[in-house]
Structure 1
């Protein structure tokens, strides 16, 4: 199996190095029978993100879509052309767990899944209100069988991705749209809390209706 980790990035100089370091740790845990590569897709970056990616020795593409759905699709299709059979997505403001890839492999082996929807843990609550934390914790189900969808923690097979049509050209909720199409075509989806990612609690969201916007809305209510 050849795994490709695809990471979209728009002006992520503050977080991309930590993200890439965590992904490398996850790759280092893999058995020798697996190969893995990393691809960063830089979208309209005007900061030092490109320089940091180059210094890390990671493959990258540059584009100017300003549309996360197009960015993810570009990276996934590029990875597939280069031989990837399993695609794992995370975000540049997130850090994957050390066993992130190992847990995916376990699900593939035992459940013959076509897609894995993992969970996220918020990295820092200190700048958020107690109301926001409590409301989030009451809403979020950190368990097997959860129904949360995160582009920062989503993986799938090459065959199912291509058959489903891939990520749509959406500025937000491209991840939910893809999962919906997998479900509509009766692909096997594993909703796992064993596949874990630590994600940023920043309120300056890159996607207008993304995770940061969700937290910001809770802050507004509080």
Structure 2
């Protein structure tokens, strides 16, 4: 990051959703808990949660409003477009404070840990531009025990002991944070790279490949940290 590092003045929490009225209340309760942690209250960080209700035919939008979230509605059936719409709406709501904001994204069927936002603010204050987190898959009737076990063994392969940082390869919209200035500098598709590689991943551009090489880098490359895992739904289909 350029210039002196300061903690974010505000947070935009972006939640894309497609017909998620069953799962969304629990997700929003978890986000409310994360937004009310003492570390954030002490810093007086404003938290704006935006649910992007994408092509919803159920009560997702109304339910989100009842739970205190801001809502933007669209008809794209595209999680990348919905996430981007939620971010844009949140930054608009912040006005001038958007220049010092931090963007945290998750999914409507995901439960974030209580310290999720506080951890990201801490890393932002330390000078990190991007935080990439991991997930755990929750039990679900459509997810067999064998498939769940195979996922765990492959996903967490190479994870070190708990007292050591895990330089993992995963990028999830369900557990991701980025400084708003870095996000805006790349026109809504932040390029996040690990400290040990030169491979850049544009995680929110639905039309982009999973990873792509870039020849140009920002003057101060963003770095990566790993917060505690979020718990994602074990559904085998979200469409």
Q: Structures share a fold, TM > 0.5? A: yes
2:148 to 130, 133, 153: 133
Which structure has the highest strand share of the two?
1
SS in structure 2 of the partner of residue 31 of structure 1: helix
TM-score, normalising length: structure 2? 0.75
Change in Cα spacing, 1:65 to 1:121, as seen in structure 2 (3 Å) is same
Query: Does residue 188 in structure 1 map to residue 222 in structure 2?
Result: yes
Q: Deviations over 1:74-122 (max 9, x none)?
A: 1112222233310000000001100001111222233x11111101111
1:21 to 29, 35, 56: 29
In structure 1, the residue matched to 2:125 is: 109
2:237 to 192, 196, 204: 204
Q: Distance between the aligned counterparts of 2:213 and 2:14, measured in 1?
A: 19
What is the CA-CA distance between 1:53 and the residue it aligns to? 1.1
Q: Distance between the aligned counterparts of 2:176 and 2:222, measured in 1?
A: 14
In structure 1, the residue matched to 2:180 is: 158
Query: Does residue 47 in structure 1 map to residue 58 in structure 2?
Result: yes
Which structure has the highest helix share of the two?
1
1:93 to 101, 109, 114: 109
Q: Distance between the aligned counterparts of 2:173 and 2:224, measured in 1?
A: 15
RMSD: 2.5
Q: Distance between the aligned counterparts of 1:178 and 1:32, measured in 2?
A: 40
Task: Count how many residue pairs are aligned between Structure 1 and Structure 2.
Answer: 200
2:134 to 95, 105, 119: 119
Q: Where do 5+ consecutive residues of structure 1 fail to align? A: 207-222
What is the CA-CA distance between 1:133 and the residue it aligns to? 2.4
Q: Deviations over 1:4-44 (max 9, x none)?
A: 10101110011000000000000000233211111111111
Q: Where do 5+ consecutive residues of structure 2 fail to align? A: 1-8, 160-164, 191-202
In structure 2, the residue matched to 1:72 is: 83
Q: Distance between the aligned counterparts of 1:178 and 1:82, measured in 2?
A: 31
What is the CA-CA distance between 1:123 and the residue it aligns to? 1.4
TM-score, normalising length: structure 1? 0.80
SS in structure 2 of the partner of residue 156 of structure 1: strand
Change in Cα spacing, 1:174 to 1:108, as seen in structure 2 (3 Å) is closer
Query: Does residue 31 in structure 1 map to residue 41 in structure 2?
Result: yes
Change in Cα spacing, 1:18 to 1:97, as seen in structure 2 (3 Å) is same
Query: Does residue 148 in structure 1 map to residue 170 in structure 2?
Result: yes
